[in-house]
Amino acid sequence: MEALDRVVKPKTKRAKRFLEKREPKLKENTKNAMLIKGGNANSTVTEVLKDIYAVKKPFAILYKKKNITRPFEDQTSLEFFSKKSDCSLFLFGSHNKKRPNNLVIGRMFDYHVLDMIELGIEKFVSLKDVKNSKCPEGTKPMLIFAGDTFDVNEEYRRLKSLLIDFFRGPSVPSIRLAGLECVLHFTAVDGKIYMRSYKVLLKKSGCKIPRIELEEMGPSLDLVMRRTHLASDDLYKLSLKQPKALKPKKKKNISHDVFGTTYGRIHMQKQDLSKLQTRKMKGLKKRPAEKSTEDGGSRPKKPKSA
């Protein structure tokens, strides 16, 4: 037991940097995804994985060799690959008679499977089939979700969260208009999920704000939900827990309205308005009668000198 509990220290600087990179951080790195082919993946599934890899690059790893594994029966191989490649997201593609053109999308928590949803491919149009210009590698996409099902159904709500995690890309402090080039649109209707990808074209409009057009660039997928493996509410809540250092400190006497306007309350002593210095004007000067009443009566007249 003592040998198992012993912490092995790195012997080289390279090993030390490797371990420091994987240490827990207050602000975590951009999540990487691994794309894995099953032992019986056909050409359609292989092309889907390649196209998703092209959209996700450079935060993705594509395994070219086939891996004989079944995520819903045994998750040990996925957890092994996740720890080996430091990936917290995965997309597994397979094909068989019972579940043709099958995709399993999921995410990890502490190198263990947290959520996993199986999707069937009904229609697929690849990047090669659409002869339009493409977005450059590493473009952060804009994500749009249409359909009430994403907000009403618990499984679709978890799928929406999973898709946001998968495609969101790096966190950026600021955005420029020319950098908004790619749109990923997900629609849930009649039990199906439609994924479409567009390139944003900024056209001249005769004013400061450009006219925006969307041009389809692929890939596009028609998906249907199959099996699901969702984390329990307690485990899901634990995975969302943030360290105390990241939580914003509550500021006293500050409130916000529904429009986001900030209001501050200032505490100060009662002010004597009678001593307030105002602008000097002839109309505001006190008359002799007013001055005498304030002094407590009229002053005695001086005797006239003889």
pLDDT in tens, 125-171: 998 888 888 888 888 899 999 999 999 999 999 999 999 999 988 88
Q: How high is the pLDDT of residue 294?
A: 63
Domain enclosing residue 217, as ranges? 29-233
Domain assignment of residue 74, yes or no: yes
Domain assignment of residue 78, yes or no: yes
Mean pLDDT across 86-106: 91
Q: Which of 77-91, 147-161, 225-239, 246-260 has the lowest mean pLDDT?
A: 246-260
CATH number at residue 91: 3.40.50.10480
Domain assignment of residue 261, yes or no: no
Quote the pTM value: 0.72
Domain assignment of residue 207, yes or no: yes
Return the higher-pLDDT residue of 257 and 278.
257
Domain assignment of residue 282, yes or no: no
Domain assignment of residue 208, yes or no: yes
Domain assignment of residue 249, yes or no: no
Domain count, the chain: 1
* Per-residue exposure over 272-306, b if at least 16 CB sit within 10 Å of its own CB, e if not: eeeeeeeeeeeeeeeeeeeeeeeeeeeeeeeeeee
